[in-house]
Structure 1
Amino acid sequence: MNRALLKTLTLFCCLWLVPVVSHAQTANTDSHDQAVAGAMAALDDFMRTFNAKDMQAWAATLNYPHVRFASGTVTVWQNAEEFARQPTFERLAAIGWDHSHWLSREPVLVSAGKVHINTIFQRFNSENEPIGTYESLYIVTRDAQGNWGTQARSSLAP
């Protein structure tokens, strides 16, 4: 094969591949951005309903089965009704908790249907004084109906 033909073929292949690779990267970026946006919105709902102390609304922000790793135990809830029966807010009130806020949320693993997010959140009393700061990992998934929700949490919080 002569050099001119080889250069032409190489140039043709490069020009043909650039749009394909570029389109794939754009599609991946769009999918990544949409997944992160969905997961962050789910975490916003999680914190909003948690701070409202509304067990049914909070339970609705989760995907099931829902798993929590904390205090040396693993707890699994199969559905929202089971989750909503726990005395979470009574236990938190006993330590002076009134509300919580995210300090940071960093997506560390992203796919079209699942986002792992390193978080740091802080708990406050009714005087808005911090009573604890905790690192955690939230796994937020998109269910079969397209709804984003927290599927699993691993926290250093009690």
Structure 2
Amino acid sequence: MSTEPTSSTPGREAIQRACNAVLDAFMQALNDHDAAAMDRCMHFPHTRLANGATTLYQAPGSNPMDLFKRLEEADGWSYSRWESREVVQFNAHKAHVLLSYTRFRKDDSVIGVYDSMYVMTLEADGWGIQARSSFGP
């Protein structure tokens, strides 16, 4: 399948706006320690490739509920923010988004900046994150 838009494909800017809205909600949910809200931003089954492992979340509620505690204990994580997000390939139903994010401690010191690629898909309920591949932990 071509990544080139067709006459019926929304333009890159419209796809970028739609993806950014989901990504903003996802980041807010992460920072709010709200796993259920994170689930609402994802499509399932959902795949995550990070730390040398591939994890498949079959359904909402599959996110490990100790995620936030583990992040805090590992590095003193307090919050994260997007640094960049760019749709690099897309069609009417899928977009590949190159992005980077920074993890911070409570004192605003940087834990790390991590590059990732997210696969966003359009389903009946709208755009969502189908897969994440990250160089972060």
Q: Considering fraction of residues, name the structure with more helix.
A: 1
Across the two proteins, how many residue pairs are aligned to each other? 132
Which of the pair has more CA radius of gyration? 1
Matched AA of 2:65: Q
CA distance in 2, matches of 1:49, 1:130: 20
**Pairing of 1:2-81 with structure 2 (within 5 A):** 27-28=8-9, 30-81=10-61
- CA deviations 1:64-123 (Å, max 9, x no partner) are 00000000000000111222x432101101120000011111111111111111111000
**Distance of 1:146 and 1:80 partners within structure 2:** 14
CA distance in 2, matches of 1:25, 1:76: 32
Instruction: Show structure 1 runs of 4+ deviating over 2 A.
Output: 24-28, 30-36
Q: Which has the higher contact order (CA 8 A, sep 6+)?
A: 2
Tell me the TM-score normalised to structure 1 length. Answer: 0.77
Question: Helix, strand or coil for the counterpart of 1:90?
Answer: helix
In structure 2, C-alpha distance between the alignment counterparts of 1:73 and 1:125, rounded to whole Å: 25
Q: Matches of 2:17 and 2:87 in 1, distance apart?
A: 10
**Structure 1, gaps ≥5 residues long:** 1-23
Alignment RMSD (CA, Å): 1.7
Equivalent position of 1:152 in the other structure = 131
Give the conservation status (yes or no) of the 8 Å contact 1:120–1:135: yes
State percent identity of aligned pairs. 34
Kept in 1: contact 2:51–2:135 (CA 8 A): yes
Q: Per residue, is there more strand in 1 or in 2?
A: 2
Q: Is the 8 A contact 1:35 1:114 kept in 2?
A: no
Tell whether 2:111 aligns with 1:136.
no
Whether the aligned pair in 1 keeps the contact of 2:97 and 2:119 (CA below 8 Å) is yes
